[in-house]
Amino acid sequence: QVHLMESGGGSVQSGGSLRLSCVVTGNFNNEYLMGWFRQAPGKEAEGLAAIDTDDTANYAEAVKGRFTISRDNIKSTMYLQMNDLTPEDTAMYYCAADFQEYHTVVVVRTVPLFTYRGQGTQVTVSL
C-alpha cells in the first residue's frame, strides 16, 4: 500500500505564493508517475501537473508558467511551487501517484484518476 500526505496549504492574498509538499510512504519506489490536481466546491477535479520518473513535467494550461512541479526521490517527496496565485486558484489540492507503466503518454487531465491520492490540503486565495 502507498500513502500520500500533502502539506503547505494555507491562505494567501492574490499575487502570493505557496509551496505544497507531498510525502509518500509505504510500498513505494521511484517508478511512479506523480501529479497534482485540485477540486473547488461544486466543480470537477482538475489535473494540474504531472511528473514522470525521468523528471519530465507536464502542466495544464491554467497553471503553465505559474506552477512548477518537482520531485525528490531520495526524500520520497513531491512539490508544487505555486506563484502569482489568484482567487480562481482557491481549492482543495491533492497529490496523486500511479504506476508509470500504465501511462505510455502522460495526460495531465487524468491525474485525478491516478491509483493513489492524499487527503488534500486547502489553498485559499483572497483579493
**What is the per-residue pLDDT for 106?**
86
**What is the per-residue pLDDT for 67?**
98
Cβ pair 14, 87 in contact under 8 A: yes
**How far, in Å, CA of 39 to CA of 109, rounded?**
12
Q: Name residue 84's beta-bridge partners.
A: none
pLDDT (tens digit, 9 = 90+) per residue, 1-47?
Answer: 899 999 999 999 999 999 999 999 998 777 899 999 999 999 999 99
**What is the per-residue pLDDT for 104?**
82
For the record, the C-alpha cell of 7 comes out as: 502539506
pLDDT (tens digit, 9 = 90+) per residue, 62-121?
Answer: 999 999 999 998 999 999 999 999 999 999 999 999 998 888 888 999 999 999 999 999
